[in-house]
């Protein structure tokens, strides 16, 4: 193979042994036979688009796992410190200053869970890669006993307060509990509210944690005088459902409270360590996927990628063209270009 530098670019020529024998002699002054015009092959962007989509999803998932892991790694040493101080506490009246400070550090960090993790960890430390962790809650007047009443009633919910879109539904008379819960779910779903029956058969609602504060402060409900007052919409108390991990409820004022808090701290540490293990394994699997995607592809795949790249540059303009070129040229340094020219 030989390489020639021309004004228009780089030309690479490869002459096989059979071609060298079969090629007719070139007579000086004779013009080479004209070439048939080549048809421009359109690029198939399916491989290129699929690869980009997979990489985008993988990047988002990896970023979510890293944010969740950052919170867990900050929480774990604080829990260990609290557990150590509780285990060494001799008992007695009064709260040692160091113990109280350790508990406050855990509470303060837990209060920032949503902000630090970006909504990727809920109150049970479940992982939500889309950042859509939810807050479960219950409404006074909408418990199991209220939904089991035989009377029908029209309910109007104002999730964002008066003047905002409302959701109205009718609870049919003599309806059973599952059908009424399904009716609530169907009516409140456009507002981002889900309704389920928990293990005890109690109606439990949930909303994105990012929307929880607004809902709790603005929710109004108007009924027909059976489950909720009739007339003007009234404020309804939305009570959060406490999860297994609730540092705000941990107490260290007396011996019994410290023992209970020690057990809760130990249980929380177990959950944190398991979550860290799962996320670390997830990141390792993501890295393996990246390496697999970047294995040396075959000739057909390279050709499809080249045509897709050319088509993308031809069709796009502005920032999209630059981002496409930048993603494909990443890692193409001077040494690699030089190695191509040398061969």
Tens-digit pLDDT profile for residues 151-210: 999 999 999 999 999 999 999 888 889 999 999 999 999 999 999 999 999 999 999 999
CA distance 240 to 246: 11
For 98, list phi and psi in degrees, rounded to 5: -65, -35
Residue given tokens 């670019």 in the structure block: 9
Q: What is the mean pLDDT of residues 240-250?
A: 92
- d(CA 313, CA 308) in angstroms, rounded, equals 9
Q: What is the pLDDT of residue 40?
A: 41
pLDDT of 6 reads 46
Q: Mean of the pLDDT values across residues 75-100?
A: 88
Q: What residues are paired with 234 via a beta bridge?
A: 221
**pLDDT computed for residue 301 by the predictor:** 65
pLDDT at 62: 87
At 140, the pLDDT band (50, 70, 90 cuts) reads: confident
Model pLDDT, residue 285: 84
The whole-number pLDDT of residue 171 equals 92
**Residue 80 has which token pair?**
């260990």
Neighbours of 269 (CB within 10 A): 16
pLDDT number for residue 43: 47
The count of other CB atoms within 10 Å of the CB of residue 289 is 15
Fold of 134-240: Immunoglobulin-like (2.60.40)
Mutual angle of helices 97-111 and 46-87, in 10-degree steps: 160
Residue with structure tokens 């491989």? Answer: 47
Mean pLDDT across the chain: 81
Over the stretch 5-54, which tens digit does the pLDDT of each residue have? 444 444 444 444 444 444 444 444 444 555 554 444 444 555 555 655 66
Q: Which residue has the higher pLDDT, 132 or 285?
A: 132
- Whole-structure pTM value: 0.67
Of 123, 28, 20, the closest CA to residue 75 belongs to 123
């Amino acid at each position: 193979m030989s390489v020639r530098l021309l004004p228009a670019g780089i030309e690479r020529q490869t002459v096989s042994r059979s071609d060298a024998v079969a090629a007719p002699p070139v007579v000086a002054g004779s013009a080479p036979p004209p070439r048939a015009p080549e048809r421009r092959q359109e690029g198939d962007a399916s491989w290129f688009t699929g690869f980009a989509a997979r990489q985008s999803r993988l990047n988002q998932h990896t970023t979510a796992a890293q944010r969740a892991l950052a919170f867990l790694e900050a929480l774990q040493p604080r829990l260990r410190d609290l557990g150590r101080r509780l285990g060494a506490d001799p008992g007695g009246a009064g709260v040692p200053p160091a113990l109280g400070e350790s508990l406050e550090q855990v509470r303060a960090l837990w209060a920032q869970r949503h902000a630090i993790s970006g909504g990727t960890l809920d109150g049970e430390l479940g992982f939500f890669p889309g950042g859509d962790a939810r807050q479960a809650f219950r409404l006074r007047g909408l418990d199991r006993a209220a939904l089991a009443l035989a009377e029908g009633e029209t309910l109007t919910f104002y999730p964002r307060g008066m003047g905002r879109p409302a959701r109205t539904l009718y609870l049919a008379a003599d309806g059973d509990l599952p059908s009424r819960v399904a009716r609530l779910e169907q009516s409140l779903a456009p507002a981002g509210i889900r309704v389920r029956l928990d293990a005890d058969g109690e109606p439990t609602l949930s909303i994105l944690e990012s929307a929880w504060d607004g809902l709790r402060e603005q929710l109004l409900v108007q009924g027909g005088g059976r489950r909720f007052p009739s007339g003007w919409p009234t404020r309804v108390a939305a009570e959060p459902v406490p999860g297994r991990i609730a540092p705000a409820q941990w107490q260290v004022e007396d011996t019994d409270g410290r023992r209970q808090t020690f057990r809760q701290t130990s249980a929380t540490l177990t959950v944190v360590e398991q979550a860290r293990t799962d996320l670390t394994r997830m990141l390792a699997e993501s890295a393996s996927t990246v390496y697999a995607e970047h294995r040396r592809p075959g000739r057909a795949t390279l050709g499809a990628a080249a045509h897709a790249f050319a088509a993308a540059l031809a069709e796009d303009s502005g920032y999209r063209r630059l981002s496409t070129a930048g993603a494909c040229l990443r890692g193409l340094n001077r040494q690699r270009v030089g190695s191509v020219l040398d061969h």
